[in-house]
Structure 1
Amino acid sequence: MDLLFLSSIIRTEEKLLLNALNSAGLAFSTIDVRKKIFDRTHESGLNADLVLNRCISQTQSLASVRYFESLGLTCVNSSSTIALSGDKQAMTLALQAARIPTPSTIFALDTKTALQATEQMGYPVVLKPTTGSWGRLVVKAHDRNAAEAVLDLREQLTGPQHRLHYIQKFIETGNSDLRAITLDGRIIAAYRRRSNHWITNASRGATGEKISISTDLEELCRATSEVAGGGILSIDLFETDQSGLLVNEVNHTTEFALATDVTGVNIASEIVNYLKARL
């Protein structure tokens, strides 16, 4: 087989990709990572030149891709890209180091220090976990009392990730943002997400509208992709009057069903063509 397709739960995006792979006549096999025993010393029967990771879970993605990379296989996306973009602190710091504009963001390792940081930044602020998706556990605090309540709650949660406080200045965008889907930095589809809530995830009911791709958007997404390590990415951005475009987050397992509907671009076919070129 030429391509190895890794997955867990099969969503709309995975169905579209599997259909596009069949339509393109590309030879591939599939693995449900939840059912595989990862035993490098007894691995046999793999006949693949390229691995496409479509696992939903960050943990599953990173563990699976690291395993197949250890066998000498090229994976899309790579483990380094998954590790970087799956960690909001690491990704933000990498973008800031590359002088890519992002919302003002600071970090703290203690709840009292984190509260001081929110005061320093000025309200409202957004408090995020450094891992996770779909806007889970992302909270906007309008004042000290709200920030203190959120920080106290996180102190009670299990897991060391809740002790790293990611504090971002809230950007007023009118409940909208931009998402661009890129292949090694080349934008294949871009659209605006709108919501009745300040969190604009499609999983929370956001709708989309196609946008024109400006030179500024192209250049910023190309630079962001380079920092992240390339591959198949979706990049979320804010539009601001004073600072222009700001990169908010980078996603390594791209959801594209809404983007396909909104833009009319057959994103699954674009991805398959990209994989064929990689092969």
Structure 2
Amino acid sequence: MNKPVTSTDLSDASPSGPRIALFVEDGSGDWHARRLRRAMEARGASVVTTTLSACAFDTSRPSGMDIPGFDGMLPDGAFVRSVSTGTLEQITFRLGILHALRESGVRVWNDARAIERCVDKSTATFLFQKAGLATPPTRVVETRVRAHAHLSADPRPFVLKPLFGSQGNGVRRAHTPDELPPPEAVGDVYYMQHYLRAPDATLFEDWRVFVCSGRVLSAMVRRGKTWITNVHQGAEPVAHAPCDEMSRMALVAAAAIGADYAGVDLIRDQSGQLMVLEINSNPAWKGLQSVTSADIADVLASDFLAAVSKAVV
């Protein structure tokens, strides 16, 4: 039987260091995963790079699971770079694997609970409000009829975001309720936020604050050519030293979600009030790395392995 693609097969590896599962989009991993793996291996960890889709629940295994490269046993830790896209059933299964790992005593970064809260923008926004953080006025409803009724009562421009999405994909701005997309384009769930910038604004920027282990690791300004400021969409990353308020809000946001590490997006409204816009439990940091002196992968690896060590003990 063919084995899945891995960077290391732990059945032949030395057991001296922690045994780590690094879950990625595909079998080889992206730029971020490769840097993480190197940083972990430099600290003595044995790392299997694999995917959640390659895992299995298996009652014939001692652990009840089959994680590629672990011969039916469990890793000491699991670092999640990607859950990957899929059907509702596939995503539920993959998150179930992460839940099971956590319930089995494996230290998971970020665990399924944090990922679920971040991926679902409506839950994340609710938790921000519960934590006392300012957010853009937001309403999330099912059906286009209810969304249309809400927007008809409020003439301000709004931003519509897919409930599940990242990197600015599928985000759109509209001025009238008639510009709402059809139900099938958004899964018949409408996440609506007030558009915060002035109608004549020409400067489009917000802030990404990278949080790890309860501290701010680094931050940047994201300066967009358009109102969408994701680096993936062409925005320019600019080095930035966050003020105390930015740092506090980012740390509270990550704590509200329960994230071990996260990218927290902040924005100012027309009056200058700082607000939490979004949070990402699997943040990319290639753009941030280009404008910071911190070795982000190295710090992530160090903090993660320290958490694994505490869990194992």
**TM-score, normalised by the number of residues in structure 1:** 0.89
Please state if 1:8 is matched with 2:25. Answer: yes
What's 1:236 paired with?
A: 265
* Conserved? CA contact 2:40–2:305, under 8 Å: no
CA drift at 1:264: 2.2
Residues 200 and 150 of structure 1: is their aligned pair in 2 closer, same or farther, counting only changes over 3 Å?
same
What's 2:279 paired with?
A: 250
Q: Paired residue for 2:136, among 89, 100, 103?
A: 103
Tell me the amino acid that sits aligned with residue 228 of structure 1: I
CA drift at 1:24: 2.5
Residues 40 and 123 of structure 1: is their aligned pair in 2 closer, same or farther, counting only changes over 3 Å?
farther
CA drift at 1:196: 1.0
Q: Paired residue for 1:28, among 47, 55, 58?
A: 47
What's 1:167 paired with?
A: 192
Structure number having the greater helix percentage: 1
Q: Paired residue for 2:110, among 77, 83, 97?
A: 77
* Identity, % of aligned positions: 23
* Conserved? CA contact 1:176–1:195, under 8 Å: yes
* Conserved? CA contact 2:206–2:229, under 8 Å: yes
Moved over 4 A (4+): none
User: For 2:118 and 2:60, how far apart are their aligned partners in 1?
Assistant: 30
Please state if 1:51 is matched with 2:78. Answer: yes
Task: Indicate the larger mover: 26-35 or 99-108.
Answer: 26-35
Q: Aligned pair count?
A: 271
For 1:155-176, what per-residue CA distance to the aligned partner results, in whole angstroms no more than 9, with x for missing partners?
A: 244xxx6222111001217321
Task: Indicate the larger mover: 65-74 or 133-142.
Answer: 65-74
CA drift at 1:213: 2.0
User: For 2:122 and 2:302, how far apart are their aligned partners in 1?
Assistant: 32
* Conserved? CA contact 1:184–1:225, under 8 Å: no
Task: Say which one has the larger Rg.
Answer: 2
CA drift at 1:84: 0.6
Partner secondary structure for residue 159 of structure 2 = strand
User: For 1:268 and 1:226, how far apart are their aligned partners in 2?
Assistant: 21
CA drift at 1:13: 0.9
For 1:8-67, what per-residue CA distance to the aligned partner results, in whole angstroms no more than 9, with x for missing partners?
A: 232211111112122223233332333333325523533422211111526376344123
* Conserved? CA contact 1:50–1:73, under 8 Å: yes
Which residues in structure 2 correspond to 1:77-226 (within 5 Å)?
77-142=110-175, 144=176, 147-151=177-181, 153=182, 155-157=183-185, 162-172=187-197, 174-226=203-255
* Conserved? CA contact 2:133–2:276, under 8 Å: yes
For 1:124-157, what per-residue CA distance to the aligned partner results, in whole angstroms no more than 9, with x for missing partners?
A: 1001111111222211002x2xx32333x2x244
CA drift at 1:245: 1.4
Taking CA–CA contacts closer than 8 Å with sequence separation of 6 or more, which of the two structures ends up with the larger relative contact order? 1
Unmatched segments (≥5 aa) in structure 2: 1-17, 66-70, 86-90
Unmatched segments (≥5 aa) in structure 1: none
User: For 1:37 and 1:49, how far apart are their aligned partners in 2?
Assistant: 17
**TM-score, normalised by the number of residues in structure 2:** 0.80
Please state if 1:17 is matched with 2:36. Answer: yes
* Conserved? CA contact 1:61–1:82, under 8 Å: no
Task: Indicate the larger mover: 185-194 or 232-241.
Answer: 232-241
Partner secondary structure for residue 276 of structure 2 = strand
* Conserved? CA contact 2:246–2:266, under 8 Å: no
Partner secondary structure for residue 197 of structure 1 = coil
